[in-house]
Structure formats: C-alpha cells, structure tokens
Chains A and B, each alone.
Chain A
C-alpha cells in the first residue's frame, strides 16, 4: 500500500483517470447535444445520454480533486510489449479473414500474439500457430460448421 506523503504532489493514476472520465463524458455530451433532447415527458434520443455524460463529467472532476489530495500506489509495470502484439491480433484477424481465408488468418493472428512474450522462440511460435490453425479448422469449420472459407480462392489451395 502507498503511504500518504506530506509534499504537495498529484496522484498520477487518479489524474489520468479523472482526465479520461471527463474527456469521455465530454465526448458523449457533445454528441448528445446534437441530437433531439426532448422534454421529461417525451424524452428524445439525446436526453438520457446527456444526463449520463453530465454524471460522468462530475465524477471525473471528483476523481481529479481526489488526485490532488492523496498519493496513491504507483502505476506499476506496463505491458508495452504485450499491448504492441496482443491488441493488433484481433484487428489483423478482421483484416485477413475475408481476403486470405479463415485458416491463414488464424495462423497470422496466433503468430503475432506469440511475440507478446519474450520467452517465445521463432520456431516455437510458428509451430504453435500452425497447430492452432489446424485445430481451429477441425473444430470450427469442420466440427461446428462455421460458414467461413478456409482459404481464399486466389491462393489456389
């Protein structure tokens, strides 16, 4: 647990958190304002979201105020390498599943995700991804009968 310090410092975690909440609230509020608000009797599509955005902004401000008062725990390690390889994996799957086909898309997805760990070797990653692709083909396309093309026709397989 972090200890309260006497020096005047900001708790960076809460500062970031409050800022994110206020920004998100503002984003939704601006969008809500462009929609019909209506009255309490007949609420338009913008009414409820506008109210919620206001709540979110107020809560964000409260978190910001709290950030000036207490020093919390440090943020700790951040999984930069993890984010760099894990987050693109589903995006790449989305971009390749139609153009390359299901099996190559799964192979690439697993391969990219493999590099999120520094413990994984190149050979192991390729073998693992190939196994995942083969297993997925058997279970999802052949077993469960998902209606996706295994390989795109232009690959000539």
Chain B
C-alpha cells in the first residue's frame, strides 16, 4: 500500500505499542477515579473531566506533537533530507500534522466517547463535538504554522512559546464549549448576529469562523511548506487573506454605517497584518539585495517572489488611506499611523544579532512612545512630545514637518544599516 511516507514515518515514531496501550490505560484510571467521585456512576464529574482532558490533550499535547514534527527535523539535521525529497507540500503537511497527532486524537476520541456516555444532557452533543474537533484541529494547525515560521527564522527552540499559546487557545476553546456542555438551553439563549444582513446565531458564527480560520491555517501551512521545499510562490495568498479579512469583518458593520466605517476598519486590518507579518517574516538583508537586483533586471516575476509580505499590506493600507482621508468618519478624529515599528524591526534585523530584533524593537518602542514622551510631557515640553506623536501638535504644518523628520531619520539609519550588512 502506497501510504503517505511522512504519515507512515510519523506513525512509526509516535504511535508506538506502548502508547497504544498506555493512553487508554491512563485515561481508564482517571475515569475510574471520577466514577468513584460520582458515587459509582458515570455522571457529571466524569463528563466534565472527559471534556477537560480532551481540551488538554488536543491543545497541549497536540500542539507539542505538531511543533516537534517540524522543529525536531532541524534539531536532528534531517530537514535537508526532507527538503530534497520528492514529496509535495500537501503530502508533507498532511503527513506531519495527521501522523504526529494521531496518537493524540486516539486519546481524544476516547474522551469524547466517555463524555457522550456520561453527560446528563446530550442535546448539544454534536455542537460540542463540532467545536471541540474543529478547534483542536485549528490549534494544531496554528502550532505547525508557528513552528514553520520559527524554522524560517532559525528560532528552533521556540517550542515553549508555541505550546504556551496553545494552552491559551485551550482556555479560549473551553470558554466556548463548557457553557454548551453544561447548559442545554445555551443554544436557545444566544442572540442572533447580523452579518451582511444575514441573521446567524452566535454559536454558528463562531463555528463557521473557526472553520474559516482552520482553512487559512491549512493554506498558510501549505505555502510555508512549499517555500521550504523551494517551490517558487507569488504573494497572492497573503493579499487574498487580507482581502478576506476585510470582507469578513466588514460584514459586522451595521448597514446604515457601512460607508462610514468600512474604510477605517479595512485600513486598521491592513496595518495590523502589516505589523504581524513583519514580525513573523524572516527579514534578511540579502533578500532585499536580490529583490533590487531582479528589479534592476526588470525581472518582475522574481521581484514579486522576493517582495516582503509586509509591503503588500502596507501598500493596501496606503491605498485605503486615500478614500479614508476624504470620507473622514465623524468619530474618527485622529488617525495615527506609525510605520516606525516596521522600520525599527528591519533596522535591528539587519544588524549583527537579528535573533534579538524583536526584543530590541519592543524596547525601543517603549522608549520612543512611552518613556520619552512622558518625560517631555512632565517637563511641560509638549512640542518635543510631538516629535514622537506628530498629530499632538496643533499646527498641521508642524505635524507634517515632524513626520518628515521622523521618516527621513529612520530611513537614513535603515539604509545605512542595510548597506553595511550586504
């Protein structure tokens, strides 16, 4: 049988006979204890424990398995062998994700079966299962995505950070699922939410949102894996994701205020994505040199492949700023845009210790937008505060001058740093 080789290898590594026996045995002992606590019945305590264990396993253990399926390759120097294989990105992603977490789902299915048998009220059972399974898949996919990002950036010891995020995700999922599991009327009590005029229940919308997030995580994993396997990719998926988020979020704006708020929300989304991706991407100076080289040769296809993703959303944000500046919504009096964090991160990334770029950027931002402005404000030197927050000044001309000074300074330093590093 021509099984997915990566899936088969993950099974050989993770689904050992010891685990095959050990997982139900440990769960059996735990449920035996809850059986005793429930006065020799499989009742509420057992059901709650089964659901709690499900969440714990699917997020904590599942995330760890997903992360290790990628980062362990780099740690044990086997990643090059995988990159040179004939496996396509989809086979690789499915093999890693499903193969490494199958043992986790084996335990999770046992928990869900016990929950189904022990729960007093099973009227919401399919909703609980639907939430639990999609959310679990989302957490594991997200963990794989983060580990691929960490791999790209050379941060191969990021397990604890990613697993920490998975635990936070587990608590979030728990806050959705537990009310459904405990209250049979939970579905009836929920108010409807309007999305582009469609009335959908809160629970259904959450489930659909989780499914959509799962879809984009899978797409992200595919793209990152494709890049690792040296398949050339154009940045259209990032553009599509930004547009999807704008369209999806726009659905929640009341119809009568749509015109007022759509552009500001879209603008905010693009800037947020811009900040997120610049921190997530591997910002290497040689990439910019390659990009400029391709642009000089008018090789636009290769230029697009080398283009940093933050540029896409930044350009989109700038395009959205044009109609926004004309519409000027009534309660959006001041719109502060600070591309400085992006440039600062690039500045530190092009330095001698790019691994510390993130922490150095955060420190600089705290100083530039917190400590120093507070210092000048306390000293009653408001004009100096405006150097950091240009819109704080009353004069439009001055604010433009401050923006120009700020931009010119950081671009100068960034260019100098880049030239030194290439």
Q: Tell whether A and B belong to one assembly.
A: no
